Structure 1
Amino acid sequence: MGNPIGIVDWVEKDGIMDDLLNQEAILTTHPMDQGFEAEVMKICSDKDIFVLKVWNKNSKPDVSLQYRLLNVLFERGLSVSKPMGWGINPHGEKVLLTTFDGMPVLEVDEKKMTVIANILSEIHKVHVKEIGNIHLLKSDFIDYFFPGVGEYYDINNALISLVQITQIKQERIIHGDFHLRNILEKNNRYTVIDWTNGQLGDPRYDFAWSLILIKIYVSERYAYVFRSAYLLENHVQQKDLEAFEALACLRWILLNRSGGTPKGPNIIERVKSLITKNPFLKEFEFTI
């Protein structure tokens, strides 16, 4: 199909991009698993493999911000893909080219869960002053993470109650959707991808969202390992953790109603169990 990146008007690019643009005859493309927001494809040269992400769906993120944020985090040695360039294709769609860093983590053990927890911890330790002139989004918590929640009285009622007693702080970099499918594994190295939701936020929520997803889709056992490893480096009071886990549960319920959550055996039962055990949610009634 010729050079799949040659048709892009590159706004910012790495020096390696010029070499790729001259390799029209030897670049091949291979489709990858698609997300809800963008089309993703693997691009192979005779020496390297890259990933091209095309936002051709409803989501319209600030791709230039993602490119610059990834640059800063990569240069700081954090576990992120190296960004090669961003631009606009002939259809007016924004695209981002990064290194290819493996496949999503499909199987876990205690060692992996500990490493992954430490990666999240390192992300949360980066202070906004360390990223220079990059102006990260500081969004309204409810509007961003709970869009359309007003249509659901049960979720909205519990959400408002929780937000009123939880002091949400927006002073650290958060990923916004840190889960196993957004963590790639290659040669025992792990890389965090999909920074569409990267912003200034509360690390306690970012951690709680990850923890809840592990409890729902993996197991309580590995959630405990993940939790223990993270809390060794980050102090979170038990009451705060329970409150943010409650918020994460509410977000999952909201996403589930719109069909935005993976399905599987015993998933609903696990969620109901989490609600029953959480002191901030057990008195509410939800339709899941």
Structure 2
Amino acid sequence: MVLLLEDDTTLSVTPLDSGLEAEVMKISSPESDFVLKVWNKESQPNVQFQYEILNALHTHGSAVSKPVGWGYEVNGHQVLLTSYDGTPIDKVDQPKLKKLAKNLNDVHKFPLDRLTGSALPSYDFIDYFYPQVDQHPDIQDLLVKLVQRADLKPVCMIHGDYHLGNILESEGKLTVIDWTNVQIGDPRYDIAWSIILMWIYVSEKRASFYRAAFCAEGRYGEDELELFEAIACLRGILLFRANNLPS
């Protein structure tokens, strides 16, 4: 990675859409394209850990970017260099929805013993996904009741924020990005949050087919996922109130 960045005479840099956490840019050389993510905002995640997770997933054959390297830039901000894998999905059809569901299911099936030297974190569910919910007692009261009914089972790797903005597409290939929220968690919540965002930003019809794609595998029933969708919907309301979710 150092050699790539030092050889700036043949590189071109193109800014990409950046999130709340980091600045993202495309770096192109005559041979190939890369993505450089620079955490120069308030968020300071463990980027080395993200690199190790990506490396394990990519080696396993999961639909993720190939990690090239990680480190620090001159101002001390953490950086991560990966392969360039296209642009966020613009339109979805039924075959693509099935592929999206399969890729998330594959994440949940990832064998944790492949993470040699890297232990996935495990967080308190409400504290992590519903920060400052105690300031919204109407949401908190309902959330606690629903979580008790759901009987959470944090048993596998979850992405934590699986939606179309974190899926890249290039020549029919889909790639999952942004592993900042990766952790041990309940796969049903991971799926439900993805369904809710599909319902909000695409359509109820697409979200219904997307849900059915998960149910078709036989691991979850619609009633089971709908309970977790209610839990996920409360997160959406909380984020909307905090102005962290585009309306």
User: TM-score, normalized by length of structure 1?
Assistant: 0.82
Residue 150 of structure 1 aligns to a residue in which SS?
helix
1:233 shift after superposition: 2.2
Match of 2:132 among 148, 151, 163: 148
Match of 1:68 among 44, 49, 52: 52
Does 2:23 align with 1:28?
Answer: no
How many equivalent pairs are there? 247
Equivalent residues of 2:167, 2:177 under 8 A apart: yes
Match of 2:42 among 47, 53, 58: 58
Aligned twin of 1:228: 212
1:59 shift after superposition: 1.2
Equivalent residues of 1:121, 1:233 under 8 A apart: no
Aligned twin of 1:181: 165
Provide the rounded CA distance (Å) in 1 between the counterparts of 2:218 and 2:132. 32
1:46 shift after superposition: 1.1
Equivalent residues of 2:21, 2:43 under 8 A apart: yes
Does 2:201 align with 1:210?
Answer: no
1:47 shift after superposition: 1.3
Equivalent residues of 1:128, 1:171 under 8 A apart: no
Does 2:62 align with 1:78?
Answer: yes
1:19 shift after superposition: 4.8
1:133 shift after superposition: 2.7
Equivalent residues of 2:211, 2:222 under 8 A apart: no
**1:36-55 matched pairs, under 5 angstroms:** 36-55=20-39
The gaps in structure 2 that reach 5 residues or longer are none
The gaps in structure 1 that reach 5 residues or longer are 1-16, 264-288
Equivalent residues of 2:11, 2:29 under 8 A apart: yes
Identity of aligned residues (%): 49
Provide the rounded CA distance (Å) in 2 between the counterparts of 1:239 and 1:187. 36
1:21 shift after superposition: 4.2
Deviations 1:144-187 (A, max 9, x none): 10111111111111111112222112221110000001000001
Does 2:89 align with 1:89?
Answer: no
Equivalent residues of 1:127, 1:171 under 8 A apart: no
